[in-house]
Structure 1
Amino acid sequence: MLSPAKGRLYNVSCPGAGRELEGGTVFSATGPAGGGVDVQALAQRAVENLRLEGADIGIAPKPSGVGVVGMPVWIWNKPGPTRTGPATASASAGGVTVTARAKVRKVVYGMGDGSDPVVCTAPGTPYAAEYGKRMSPDCGHRYTAPSSTVDGGRYRVTATTTWDVEWAGAGQTGTITTTRDASTSVEIREVQVLN
């Protein structure tokens, strides 16, 4: 009984002269001559060079302030290439360059009160005083209980950013999905009404 040979299949091509020269798929136990370039590893390096970050969480009420049960809470991701995209970076090795382009697909906010997560597909609208007591048009929440009901007396707000990264190089393309996390906290109180 023959044991299977260990190695990999390689797609051989010679780009650069305006058209691909003859090549094809070959098996090699040791890799292509000259060591070759692992394009997918290069793509991963391009993704690292993007230096993607989690959301820079903007929230009203501010973490240094106090919110009120039942009042709108506005949430947004402060813009920037490494926070909201688009972002572009490259990595090169052995004459091969891979370029990666990243954009945010969504940010999922856990509000810390056990409610369903808030899913935002846009960066969100920063709160301004003229908005008064209106709800955010694209990324908001209302607390129904004071934060004194949780450990530490503050709701921990988490943000998980999902990035879609498209890469291309050496005649190959692909998509990598990656996530980044961030958090903040808010204090929410109940208003006592006197009769």
Structure 2
Amino acid sequence: MTAAAGGLSVTVTAKVTRINWSMGGGTTITCTKPGTPYQQSLGKADSPDCGHRYTKVGNHTITATSTWVVDWVANSGETGSIPDTTRTSSTTVRIGELQVVN
């Protein structure tokens, strides 16, 4: 994103470095990459890098806290970073049925 005023323009780039997922029930998962795209050949296997499997029926509050690094550069040649900027969002999901496959 670029903003300009009075002859000065600044371009800002923000990148997520990790997301901490609080999945409810005390489980927290930290993801440092986008994850593995689903492939039908994986079937019902657990995610190899950033997944969670619920084992209890009920309502679960999920909270995601993303950590960002924000870099900026001005047309004057100045640059900078704003490290560890965080954003948090929550939602509730209801797990109504669990199946056990033997």
Alignment partner, residue 154 of structure 1: 59
TM-score, scaled relative to structure 2: 0.77
Q: Give the structure 2 partner of residue 140 of structure 1.
A: 51
SS in 1 for 2:48: coil
Say which structure is richer in helix: 1
How many angstroms apart in 2 are the aligned matches of 1:191 and 1:123?
28
Compute the displacement of 1:191 (Å): 4.9
Per-residue CA shift, 1:59-99, capped at 9, x if unaligned? xxxxxxxxxxxxxxxxxxxxxxxxxxxxxx01112211111
Q: Distance in 1 between matches of 2:42 and 2:11?
A: 41
Q: 1:156 to 1:128 in 2, by over 3 A?
A: farther
Cα deviation code 1:21-42 (max 9, x no counterpart): xxxxxxxxxxxxxxxxxxxxxx
Q: Give the gaps of 5 or more residues in structure 2.
A: none
How far, CA to CA, are the matches of 1:154 and 1:118 in structure 2?
A: 18
Q: Give unpaired runs (5+ residues) of structure 1.
A: 1-88, 148-152
Contact 1:119 / 1:139 at 8 angstroms: preserved in 2?
Answer: yes
Structure 1: distance between partners of 2:38 and 2:25: 21
Partner of 2:77: 171
User: Which stretches of structure 1, 4 residues or more, deviate above 3 A after TM superposition?
Assistant: 126-130, 188-192
Judged with a 3 Å threshold, the aligned counterparts in structure 2 of structure 1 residues 138 and 191 are, in CA distance, closer, same or farther, namely closer
Instruction: Give the partner amino acid of 1:133.
Output: K
Summarize the Cα distance change of 1:128–1:188 in structure 2 as closer, same or farther, 3 Å threshold: farther
Distance 1:101 1:190, change over 3 A: closer
* Partners of 2:47 and 2:8 in 1: CA distance: 46
Aligned residues: 97
| C-alpha displacement of 1:180 | 2.3
For residue 95 of structure 2, what is the aligned residue in structure 1?
A: 187
Higher RCO structure, 1 or 2 (CA under 8 Å, sep 6+) = 2
More strand by percentage: 2
Q: 1:189 to 1:176 in 2, by over 3 A?
A: same
User: Is 2:32 the partner of 1:125?
Assistant: no
Show the counterpart of 1:108. Answer: 20
Instruction: State the percentage of identical aligned residues.
Output: 48
